[in-house]
Structure 1
Amino acid sequence: MPTSLKSVFGISRNVLKSYVDRQQIDEDYQDKIELTDHHIVIYGETKVGKTLLRKKYVTKDENTIVIDCTKGVNLSDIYTQILYKAGIEISESLSKSIEKCTKLDSQVEANLFQFIKAKVSGESTEKELSSETRRVNLPNTVSVRVAEALVSKEIQFIVLDDFHYLNLVDQYLLAFDLKMFYQIGLRFIIIGTKINNGYFEKFNGELAQRIDYIDATRWSKNDLLEIKKRGCRELNIDISDDVINYFVEASSHIVAVYQQLLFDYCRESGVRQSSNHQVILNDLELAIKCNKLYYKRISEEYLKRIQHIADGERKGKLKLYYYIMKIVLTSNNDVARKGFSFQYIYDNLLQIHMNKTINHGALTSVLNHFEELQTKKNVFPKVFSYYDKRLYITDSLFYYILKHFDKENIDEVLPPHDFQLSFNFNN
């Protein structure tokens, strides 16, 4: 049977035949699965291969429950889905207990949310941190009952994919349950963006040395070249070094972009499945055309998201969201990959903003509301997240957008007349 192009290159929910092990990352993950009993967090921007890494190495279907944390899901939903997928009958009393112990009084939740948000963003003061022990008591959870039911079914692993869609308060509550799950022998594999090394320990210090982190972001040039090598072998083709080097550079080392460019290039070259005779592909002009078409195809939607964010809150007199987006679009990829620090944004604001007396508090408030604004504007999936006093890109495709965005034409994306400021400096 010929091998189809769709099973070799492109973007797929399945493990492609061109999948390669990234020695340091894949082996580290496999070791943590086989040689430890810790919870595992796989993190990185979207579309870098986190879920495929989990699928390739994790566990037998019969002892693993996989939950997709879709938009709007809460901790009560997660526990209910876990029990349902394990084939455990949920009694009325257990259902009520789950709901009661994972939902807080609205005022308690609002206060707790502000506390957690300040802690994650890095804006907590020493006084606030020292008073953490005096926060309102959280309700006892039903995690013990859930865990015991799962152990009786010989469940070993719970996978939470797209964990970043779970709200901060539920993430915080889960962090305390994770210690109990660890003690009883259930392991969680958590996959998401907006997480970094030590994330859960910020919520619950007792998770130290009970949870390991895998950064799945990095793809080296050698990794990308190996994808080409394996894929070409499957299709019985060869792609010239000039074309591959162009795609590696053009993709900004984003594996999803690289895979899609290879798919588009093969398809445009007439390769839809493997053939009996080797085919040589070396049309660099076609490669450049494929990249331009791909950028055109996805940039329109991404730049609309930027416009929505730049629009900010119409009542905002300083239009800081507009100026922050202008800073983002005119920064280079090296800065973007490290995250835009508070100081970097502030220094650049002072250079380009009409008001030269912007205070730290105004900028802090805007940055702390970045996620809420994206939710309000229906920017989905979210492009940015602010934590540890940095504005991070959480969607890896945006690095590709930044690489090919024509900075000279920024006013076409963010027209100044749409974001006019009106100051009354006499007030």
Structure 2
Amino acid sequence: MSNTKVSDVYGINRDLPLNYVPRSYADTILRESLDRSQHLVIYGSSKQGKTSLRKHNLKHDEYIVIHCSNKWTIQNIHEAILKSAGFELTISSSQTTTGKQKISASIGTAAILPFNLSSNAESESTNQNSITLEPLDLDPFDVNDIIDALNRIKFNKIIILEDFHYLPTETQKDFSFALKAFHENSKFKFIIIGVWLEENRLSVYNGDLDGRLIALNADKWDKQDLTSVIERGEELLNIEFSENFKSNLVENCFDSVFLIQEACLAACKQCNIEEKQITKTLIAENIDAKNLISNIVKSQSGRFNSFLTQFANGFQATTLEMYKWLLYPILTKEITELEKGIRLLDITRLLKSKYPKKDELNTGNITQALQSVTSLQINKNVRPIILDYDQTNLVLSIVDKSFLIWLATQNRDDLILLVGLDE
């Protein structure tokens, strides 16, 4: 019997799932972008296959990956790039013109094999087969110093920034300016991956990036591709889900590939399927797909309740309590409306009709709070993030599809009571 495990096919995997299905509107764009000079931004809701998309289309030795942190500055991004490229960093005795400490970058052993570097870092040589460098004193805030260091080791890999949305907003803005310099002063290519639904997020921070970025919406999954994910898994495991189960699963998953994967895994477990079957096996004939999805989402109730209470509290206690009131449209609008996102105009109208201190509320208060919804979630350690505000189209969106399904199963009055909007 084959040792193909159900967990290697369905469910969430660290590695690329065996039943990965290329999408013409995503994989093709990624592959074509590799031959162009622009940087690539892959965006979409959480757990929609953004990382799997790049893993499927790039060879492991073609890129380095930087996982962004919520406390990083642009200095930390630059240092992480240098370390991944093979440099060893120490604090230099020199200072920048602004009085900040420089860093000393020397060639580490990690750089020797990928870039044919000699471990002898005492002098610079032009030998065709090796490059040796003296330690470099760099300003970690200066993108030109980073470019120069990478050029010296003939670095030629794609630089991938995962979890870009977790960076502080100011760091995202700073890096959007650095990205323009990387584009104009080097041949280095970046792939930036983030959870948002706004096509030109980085261009909002720096208009000069227009034409220098390719945006790829990884959020989109049509029903045929979701069905193909299920069917590819069936082939690998020599099983067949009942047609009723498959159709109901695709119909009720809110176009979430995560829920497709998790529901198929749960169904296999219920039917005692752990690995590939010797003979074709029909399963899930008596499993209610919609109920299965509901149970998967229900297991995240603690996380969602915690999100609501923490978000409602805001960064600190304030008179206006804007973050609590931003939850009002989320907790009162129909699910079909929430799927599309809520426009600033609609939020403003709704809050002005319900807010207890109408004379103190203005559009500026609402806009300022909306622009900080991601920062607040990062501050509260909400992972993955659930809400995102599109500053271009002025739309507040739910970027965790599981939250939408969970919300549809909840008593909204109880949630309004939970966050204190009943007062």
Q: TM-score, normalised by structure 1?
A: 0.80
| Alpha-carbon distance, 1:37 to partner | 1.9
Q: How many residues in Structure 1 have an aligned counterpart in Structure 2?
A: 381
Task: Summarize the Cα distance change of 1:416–1:149 in structure 2 as closer, same or farther, 3 Å threshold.
Answer: closer
SS in 2 for 1:47: coil
> Could you tell me which amino acid in structure 2 is paired with residue 25 of structure 1?
A
Given candidates 267, 272, 293, the residue that maps to 2:274 is: 272
Cα displacement string for residues 277-325 of structure 1 (whole angstroms, at most 9, x for unaligned residues):
1110143445344223212211332133113223447744454433432
Q: Provide the secondary structure at the position in 1 that maps to 2:299.
A: helix
Match of 2:384 in 1: 381
Instruction: Assess, with a 3 A threshold, how the Cα gap between structure 1 residues 82 and 360 changes in structure 2: closer, same or farther.
Output: closer
| Equivalent position SS for 2:193 | strand
Residues in 1 aligned to 2:239 and 2:351: alpha-carbon distance in whole angstroms: 51
Alignment of 1:215-254 (within 5 A): 215-254=217-256
Q: Give the equivalent residue in structure 2 for 1:50.
A: 50
TM-fit CA distance, 1:18: 1.2
User: CA–CA distance in 2 between the matches of 1:213 and 1:17?
Assistant: 26
- Superposition deviation, residue 272 in structure 1: 0.8
**Equivalent position of 1:79 in the other structure:** 78
Q: Distance in 1 between matches of 2:221 and 2:56?
A: 17
Moved more, 289-298 or 311-320: 311-320
Residue 140 of structure 1 deviates from its aligned partner by 10
Q: What is the CA distance between 1:420 and its match in structure 2?
A: 5.8
Matched, 1:405 2:409: yes
| Structure 2 partner of 1:205 | 207
Q: Distance in 2 between matches of 1:398 and 1:230?
A: 27
Q: Give the aligned partner of residue 65 of structure 1.
A: 64
SS in 2 for 1:179: helix
The yes-or-no answer on 1:7 pairing with 2:8 is yes
Letter in 1 for 2:269: R
Code of the residue aligned with 1:292 in structure 2: it is S
1:166-185 alignment to 2 at 5 Å?
166-182=167-183, 183-185=185-187
CA contact (8 A) 2:144 2:181 kept: yes
Contact residue 6 and residue 275 of structure 2 kept, 8 A: yes
CA distance in 2, matches of 1:157, 1:401: 38
The answer on whether the counterparts of 2:374 and 2:389 sit within 8 Å (CA) in structure 1 is yes
- What amino acid is aligned across from residue 299 of structure 1 in structure 2? S
Does the 8 Å contact 2:254/2:401 carry over to 1? no
Matched AA of 1:359: N
Counterpart CA distance in 2 for 1:184 and 1:376 is 35
Superposed CA offset, 1:212-244 (max 9, x none):
110110000000110111000000000112101
What is the one-letter code of the residue matched to 2:253?
S
Unpaired runs of at least 5, structure 2 = 103-138
State how far apart, in whole Å, the 2-side matches of 1:4 and 1:272 are: 6
Q: State whether residues 65 and 155 of structure 1, in contact with CA within 8 Å, keep that contact through their aligned partners in structure 2.
A: no
Structure 1 residues 314 and 148: CA distance shift in structure 2, 3 A: closer
Counterpart contact for 2:325–2:421, Cα < 8 Å: no
Distance 1:74 1:361, change over 3 A: closer
Unpaired segments ≥5 residues, structure 1: 104-138, 422-427
| Same amino acid, percent of matched pairs | 28
- The 8 Å contact of residues 98 and 142 in structure 1, kept in 2 or not, is answered as no
Q: Secondary structure at the match of 1:23?
A: coil
Report the AA paired with residue 229 of structure 2: I
1:318-337 → structure 2 map (5 Å cutoff): 318-337=320-339
The equivalent position to 1:394 in structure 2, one of 389, 393, 399, is 399
Q: Distance in 2 between matches of 1:330 and 1:399?
A: 12
Match of 1:26 in 2: 27
**CA deviation map 1:79-113 (0-9, x unaligned):** 2122122222436449965997799xxxxxxxxxx
Residue type matched to 1:243 in 2? F
Contact kept, 8 Å, 2:197 with 2:390, in 1: the verdict is no
**Partner-residue secondary structure (3-state), 2:159:** strand
93-102 or 203-212: bigger deviation:
93-102
Deviations 1:153-173 (A, max 9, x none): 432311000011122222222
Change in 2 beyond 3 A, CA 1:228/1:276 = same
Residues 364-412 of structure 1, C-alpha deviation per residue, up to 9 Å, x if partnerless?
Answer: 343344334434444333322234232222333323323x333xx2222
What is the Cα deviation at residue 192 of structure 1? 0.5
Distance verdict in 2 for CA 1:79–1:354, change over 3 Å: closer
For 1:338, the equivalent position in structure 2 comes to 340
The superposition leaves residues 235-266 of structure 1 with CA deviations (integer Å, 9 ceiling, x where unpaired) of: 00001121011111221111111110111111
Q: State the Cα distance separating 1:25 from its structure 2 match.
A: 1.3
What letter is aligned with 2:382? V
- Residue 128 of structure 1 corresponds to none
Q: Secondary structure at the match of 1:36?
A: coil
Secondary structure of the structure 2 residue equivalent to 1:386: strand
Paired amino acid for 1:268:
Q
**AA aligned opposite 2:299:** R
Which position in structure 1 is the counterpart of 2:128? none
Shift of 1:174: 1.7
> Could you say if the C-alpha distance between residues 290 and 377 of structure 1 is closer, same or farther in structure 2, counting changes exceeding 3 Å?
same
The 8 Å contact of residues 9 and 231 in structure 1, kept in 2 or not, is answered as yes
Matches of 1:321 and 1:417, distance apart in 2: 10
In the alignment, the residues of structure 1 paired with residue 37 and residue 332 of structure 2 have an alpha-carbon distance, to the nearest angstrom, of: 45
Of Structure 1 and Structure 2, the greater strand share is in 2
SS at match of 2:196: coil
The worse-fitting range, judged by mean Cα deviation, of 272-281 and 343-352 is 343-352
SS at match of 2:145: helix
- Residue aligned with 2:405, SS: helix
Residues 14-47 of structure 1, C-alpha deviations (whole Å, 9 max, x = no match): 11111101112111111111x2121111011111
Q: Which segment drifts farther, 47-56 or 244-253?
A: 244-253
Decide whether aligned partners of structure 1 residues 312 and 285 sit closer, same or farther in structure 2, where only a CA change above 3 A counts.
Answer: same
Determine the structure 2 residue equivalent to 1:136.
none
